[in-house]
Amino acid sequence: MEETWTILKVLQWTTQYFRGKGLEQPRADAEVLLAHALGLRRVDLYLRFDQPLHPDELARYRELIKRRTSHEPTQYITGRQEFWSLELEVNPAVLIPRPETERLVELALEAFEEESLRVLDVGTGSGAIAIALATERPGWAVTACDISLSALKTARRNARRHGVADRIAFVASDLTAAFRPSPPPFHLICANPPYVGDAQWDGLAPEVTHQEPETALRGGGPQGTHVPRKLLRNAFPLLLPGGMLLMEFGQGQEEVLAREARQLPEAAKVEVVRDYAHIPRILCVTRRHRGARFSSPLPHPDSTEG
């Protein structure tokens, strides 16, 4: 008699199989992939533990298991990742948004209560930061830039999905190269630049080094600070007086980046903020006030087409 595979039995078997393959979250991966294969929410699995699976459902699930054990990230398999309670499309053209980056969004919202603000999100990737800010602050005019056209197209699709595409300008740019510093156009600049150092690269999980876009990860140099330092120098002149730069960085980089930030002309305040795990994570640099803020319209470069 052919064995009956229920949802519970399949999850138990897959969890053990993933654990044997050395995956870090075997049960969570098993549940997410099975829910995806069945077109269910993850919580629905717990209400249907005794439900038997049809052969075609088992076949679909087996294919997902193969992909996961080849170290393809679960988020790329399902095509989804949650950030700031927003479900975003993710694919190999963009980094998978991490929970610690939500701290940057928090800081931006805490720093400015103005209804009207001009914001730049550098290296937007999936659009996570830009879309979160546009969702929370309907009056803010957000520009999101990235060097990757594929990433920009993904970000635009995510913005459309969440109804904020009309308030985000998507611009192709290598860091801030597409923007003119005179007169300064932005009140707030947010960035999660590449910051993984050469010394750390080989120690990362294969899900990261073999699957996610390397150009969005590696910051250059042994400690990975080349790109963050370049961004500091080039982005800061784009800030209005009283404006703020928020930049995520990697472990061990806070001293060199804070020192560089303090050397910037017009830098009034430099702070290092810790993430939810109490790890130094966000560099906050405020530009010195000089009279009234510039208030003429922001000259956007030509945006990419989706």
Is there a binding annotation on residue 193? yes
The answer to whether 126 is annotated as binding is yes
What pLDDT is recorded for position 302?
Answer: 35
Q: How far apart are CA 74 and CA 97, in angstroms?
A: 13
Mean pLDDT for 54-58 is 94
Q: 219-235 as b/e, with b when 16 or more CB fall inside 10 Å?
A: bbeebbbbbbbbbbebb
Fold (topology level) of 93-287: Rossmann fold (3.40.50)
Q: Please, where in the chain does CATH 3.40.50.150 lie?
A: 93-287
DSSP assignment string, 97-116: PPGGGHHHHHHHHHH---SS
Contact present, 168 and 134 (Cβ < 8 Å): yes
Residue of 142, 103, 147 lying closest to 125 (CA atoms): 147
Does residue 305 surpass a pLDDT of 50?
A: no
Q: What is the mean pLDDT of residues 259-268?
A: 92
pLDDT of residue 254 exceeding 50: yes
> Is residue 14 annotated as involved in ligand binding?
no
Residue 146 annotated as lining a ligand binding site: yes
Query: If you average pLDDT over residues 54-71, what whole number do you get?
Result: 95
Check whether 192 is labelled as a binding-site residue: yes
Q: Is 44 annotated as a binding residue?
A: no
What's the pLDDT at 192?
96
Residue 18 to residue 34: CA distance in whole angstroms: 13
* Token couple for 82: 């949650």
Q: Is the pLDDT of residue 256 over 60?
A: yes
Is residue 26 marked as binding?
no
Residue 39 annotated in ligand binding: no
Q: What is the pLDDT of residue 3?
A: 73
Q: Where in the chain is the domain with CATH 1.10.8?
A: 7-70
Classified by CATH at the fold level, domain 7-70 comes out as Helicase, Ruva Protein; domain 3 (1.10.8)
pLDDT in tens, 267-288: 889 999 999 889 999 999 999 8
User: How does pLDDT run across 4-48, given as a tens digit for each residue?
Assistant: 899 999 999 999 999 999 999 999 999 999 999 999 999 999 999
pLDDT digits (tens, 9 = 90+) for 174-226: 999 999 988 889 999 999 999 999 988 988 888 898 898 998 998 988 899 99
pTM of the full structure? 0.88
pLDDT value of position 2: 58
pLDDT in tens, 124-174: 999 999 999 999 999 999 999 999 999 999 999 999 999 999 999 999 999
